[in-house]
Amino acid sequence: MLPNRSRLSVLVFLLPPLLLYGVAVLFPILQSLFLSFFSWNGISDMEFVGFANYVHMLTGDGVFWRSFFNALGYLAICLVLQLGGALFVASLLTSLRRGRELVKTLYLLPAVISTVAIAFLFVRIYSIDPVGLLNQVLGWIGLGSLERPWLSDVNTVLAAVSAPEGWRFTGLYMLIIYAALLAVPQELEEAARLDGANRWQLFTKIRFPHIRPVWITTTIMATTYGLRGFDIPYLMTNGGPGQSSELLTTYMYKTAFTSTDFGYASTISVFIVVECLVAVGFILLMLKRKADA
C-alpha cells in the first residue's frame, strides 16, 4: 500500500493519459455506438432508426456475413503464420549457436517495411502476366499446373492476402517469444533431461508452461490485430474479386466512405469492437482453463 501522498501523485500522473485514452479511444467508440442508431449520409438530416441497422446487418446483409467469415479465415491464416511460425522459429533460435542476431534481424525486417510497399511487392509476386515470383517458382519445380492469378482467383485470394500480413509480423512475435524462452530456467530443463525427457516433453512440460503468460499476451495481440486487419487486403484487392477478400473492416470502410452510410458503418464498427472483446475473453478463458487443468 502506497502512502497517501504518493497515491495522490500516482493519480495525478495517471490522469492525463487516462484523459487522452478517453478522448482518443472511448469517445469515438461511444460516438460510433450513438451513430449506429441513425441513418445519416454525412450531409442529410440524421434520422433515428432505432435498431434497424442492427436488424439489417444481422438478418438482411449477405455481404456482412460473407465479410465476417472471410475475416475469420483471414484471422486463422494470420494466427497460424504469426504464432505458429514465431514459436517454431524462436524454438529453433534457442538451439542455434551462431548467427542468432542475423537470423533475428532478417526475420524482423518485414515488420519495419511500409505496408504499401509490402502490398505492391506481393501484388507482383502473385501476378501471372507478367509472370510473378510465385508462379515462376511453381513452373521451375514442375508444379506449372498450379500457376494461376492468385489475386483474381476467388478460391485463392483470401489466403493470398492473409499471407503477407502473417509473414510481416512473424518476426515481431518471434522476438517476444524468443525473449520468453530465454527466461526459462536452465536448471529445470537440465533436470528434466537427466530424468530422460525428450525434446517434445521438454517443450510441452517445461518450456511452454513457462512462457504461457507471454503466449497469452501475444495471442491476444495477434488476434486483435488480425480482426482489425485492413491495409494489406484493401491495398491488394480492395476486397475483390467480388467479395472474396472483403473483411469486416474493409466493408465498414467502404460503407462509410464510398456509400457514405455513416450510420450503418458505425453499426459494423460496433460489431467489430464487440467481436474483439469477445475474442479476447474467449482466449483468456481457454488458456486459463488449460492452465488450471
Partner 1 sequence: MKKLIRTAAVAAAAALALSACGGGGAGSASNVNPTGDIKPRQISWLLSRPADGAVINIMKKIADEYAQTHPGFSLNLITTPDRPSYIQKYETLAAANKLPELFDTDATPFAQQLAKQGKMVDAEKLLKDLGVYDTYRTNALNYQRFDDGSLYMIPFQFELEYFWYNKALFQQAGVSVPKSLDDIPAMCTALRKAGITPLALDGQDQWPLERYVSYQPFRDAGPDFVQKLKKGDAKFSDATGQKTVNWISQLGGAGCFQDGFSSQGYSDAQNLFTSGKAAMYNIGTWELPSLATDKLNPAVRNDVDYFTLPATPSSATAANEYVATSGIGMAVNSKTFDPLVSDFLKFALAKYPSEYAATGALSPTTNVQTTIPANATPLYKKAIDQAQDLGTKLAMPWDTQLDPTTNSRLQQELVLLAQGNIKPAEFTSTMDSTIAQNAPKFFK
Phi, psi (rounded to 5 degrees) for 151: -90, -10
Binding span for partner 1 by CB under 8 A among 9-17, 122-130, 183-191, 205-213: 122-130
**Size of the residue set binding partner 1 (CB under 8 A):** 41
Distance between CA atoms of residues 156 and 143, nearest Å: 16
- Does 239 bind partner 1 (CB under 8 A)? Our answer is yes
By CB under 8 A, the residues from 178 to 237 that bind partner 1 are 236-237
When binding is defined by CB under 8 A, the residue of 126, 167, 215, 225 that contacts partner 1 is 126
- 3-state secondary structure (DSSP) of residue 166: helix
- Does 258 bind partner 1 (CB under 8 A)? Our answer is yes
Contacts 24+ apart (CB under 8 A), 212-215: 212/287, 212/291, 214/176, 214/177, 214/179, 214/180, 215/177, 215/180, 215/287
- Does 139 bind partner 1 (CB under 8 A)? Our answer is no
- Does 35 bind partner 1 (CB under 8 A)? Our answer is yes
- Does 154 bind partner 1 (CB under 8 A)? Our answer is yes
Distance between CA atoms of residues 67 and 76, nearest Å: 14
Cell of 74: 483471414
- Does 27 bind partner 1 (CB under 8 A)? Our answer is yes
- Does 64 bind partner 1 (CB under 8 A)? Our answer is no
Shortest reach from residue 260's CB to partner 1, in Å: 5
- Does 121 bind partner 1 (CB under 8 A)? Our answer is no
